[in-house]
């Protein structure tokens, strides 16, 4: 299995939460497309049918991963684009409110703040304790008749905690609001069923825990929410045609949120990555992520002077930690020089290790030794 992830022979790779390693099957699919592309008329009928079939198959693959229907899936360029599709598609008015947590990645926090600014609305941000705790209670205490959206991560990018999405969604529904979930650090690391969580929209990328290429992602939308999320950027791919009066006929399902031609080279590459992962077994993958994350967390917690910031409770593949007296960016660079790749975070100032299904005991030991050297242990 590790042989199909060649970067693992060069380094201890613990940054899947940033960008996952590209497996050989995905690289082969990219190369095969590049070899074929110069010899075909890419705008011809046969090529267009092939691309449409690949897109349909990819939606089905993503839907299967989410226990969903393919008609509930829209392809996107990444999580950011998928999140923006939902946020800009809301009919927000002056005085409307959006509720979120203090644990959000800028790619969610930014669109939320911009949406509130555009409409003269209000962004209500839950504090650290509330964000890590009983979100049904916390959201319920601030959500009111002007709340239109509750938006949060499934897994926090900065602490690694699995947030109480189901509780937040119940409180949102009680207030008449929609729930948008950023699943960037969840899908591929833990089991995900957006409908069971109570989400109305769930965004995810290809290139993190699903080991696909950069430049692709997906958006799941609950069918009942379609009427409340307008098409922010309708285009050629988002409808079944255009009427003589200029009106646009949107697709019946989530495909209405796909604006234009998908990246043809990336479709088979992500499908190849998903197929390889499915062949390994999602149950096995999720168990291995859980075990590797626990091993990394325990190894770091045992080092004097190192503070593990990932809170107790449900966790996925991330471990956030601080080495006192060390600038996170400098510490990240020193670890990289020693062959250990992690991510540094600005808020809170910390390092973050992503433990993947491929992370083994020797990887954890090299992480421990590298951080011990940073801390002078």
Which residues lie below 8 Å from residue 232, measured CB to CB, with a gap of 6+? 84, 85, 88, 89, 257
Which residues lie below 8 Å from residue 157, measured CB to CB, with a gap of 6+? 17, 103, 104, 105, 184, 185, 318, 345, 352
* Category of 116 on φ-ψ map: left (φ > 0), alpha (ψ -120 to 50) or beta: alpha
Report which DSSP code applies to 224. Answer: G
**In order of start, what are the domains of the chain with their CATH numbers?**
26-277 (3.40.640.10), 281-375 (3.90.1150.10)
Q: How far is CA 375 from the centre of its chain?
A: 32
Measured CA to CA, the distance from residue 87 to residue 69 in angstroms comes to 23
What's the confidence (pLDDT) of residue 377?
58
Measured CA to CA, the distance from residue 269 to residue 277 in angstroms comes to 13
Which residues lie below 8 Å from residue 103, measured CB to CB, with a gap of 6+? 128, 131, 132, 152, 153, 156, 157, 158, 159, 161, 163
SS3 per-residue string spanning 282-301: HHHHHHHHHHHHHHHHHHHH
Q: How far is CA 264 from the centre of its chain?
A: 21
What's the confidence (pLDDT) of residue 48?
85
The three-class DSSP label of residue 69 is coil
- Written as six digits, the tokens of 89 are 């598609």
- Written as six digits, the tokens of 165 are 């999405």
Are 68 and 220 within 8 A, CB to CB? yes
For the stretch 231-279, pLDDT in tens is 988 887 888 876 777 777 888 999 999 988 899 999 999 999 999 999 9
What's the confidence (pLDDT) of residue 47?
81
Spans of the chain below 50 pLDDT: none
Measured CA to CA, the distance from residue 298 to residue 286 in angstroms comes to 18
What's the confidence (pLDDT) of residue 41?
75
Measured CA to CA, the distance from residue 336 to residue 280 in angstroms comes to 29
What's the confidence (pLDDT) of residue 282?
98
Are 365 and 342 within 8 A, CB to CB? no
Are 71 and 197 within 8 A, CB to CB? no
């Amino acid at each position: 299995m590790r042989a199909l992830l060649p970067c693992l022979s060069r380094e201890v790779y613990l940054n899947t939460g940033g960008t996952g390693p590209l497996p050989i099957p995905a690289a082969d699919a990219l190369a095969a497309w590049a070899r074929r592309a110069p010899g075909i008329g890419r705008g011809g009928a046969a090529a267009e049918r092939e691309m449409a079939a690949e897109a349909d198959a990819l939606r089905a693959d993503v839907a299967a991963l989410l226990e969903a229907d393919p008609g509930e899936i829209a392809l996107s360029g990444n999580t950011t684009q998928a999140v923006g599709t939902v946020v800009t598609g809301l009919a927000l008015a002056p005085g409307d409110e959006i509720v979120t947590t203090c644990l959000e990645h800028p790619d969610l926090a930014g669109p939320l703040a911009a949406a509130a600014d555009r409409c003269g609305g209000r962004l209500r941000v839950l504090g650290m304790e509330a964000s890590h705790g009983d979100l049904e209670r916390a959201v319920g205490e601030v959500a009111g008749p002007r709340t239109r959206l509750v938006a949060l991560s499934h897994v926090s990018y900065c602490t690694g905690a699995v947030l109480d999405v189901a509780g937040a969604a119940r409180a949102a529904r009680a207030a008449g609001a929609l729930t948008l979930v950023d699943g960037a650090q969840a899908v591929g690391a833990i089991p995900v069923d957006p409908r069971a969580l109570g989400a109305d929209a769930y965004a995810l990328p290809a290139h993190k825990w699903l080991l696909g290429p950069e430049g692709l992602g997906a958006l799941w939308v609950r069918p009942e929410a379609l009427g409340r999320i307008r098409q922010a950027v309708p285009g050629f791919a988002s409808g079944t045609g255009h009427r003589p009066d200029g009106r646009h006929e949107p697709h019946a399902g989530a495909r209405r949120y796909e604006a234009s031609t998908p990246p043809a080279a990336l479709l088979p590459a992500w499908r190849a990555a998903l197929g390889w992962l499915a062949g390994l077994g999602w149950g096995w993958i999720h168990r291995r992520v859980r075990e590797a994350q626990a091993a990394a967390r325990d190894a770091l917690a045992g080092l004097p002077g190192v503070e593990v910031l990932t809170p107790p409770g449900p966790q996925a593949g991330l471990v956030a930690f601080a080495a006192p007296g060390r600038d996170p960016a400098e510490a990240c660079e020193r670890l990289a020089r020693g062959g250990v790749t992690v991510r540094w975070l600005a808020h809170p100032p910390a390092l973050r290790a992503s433990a993947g299904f491929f992370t083994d005991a020797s990887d954890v030991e090299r992480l421990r030794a590298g951080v011990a050297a940073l801390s002078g242990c």
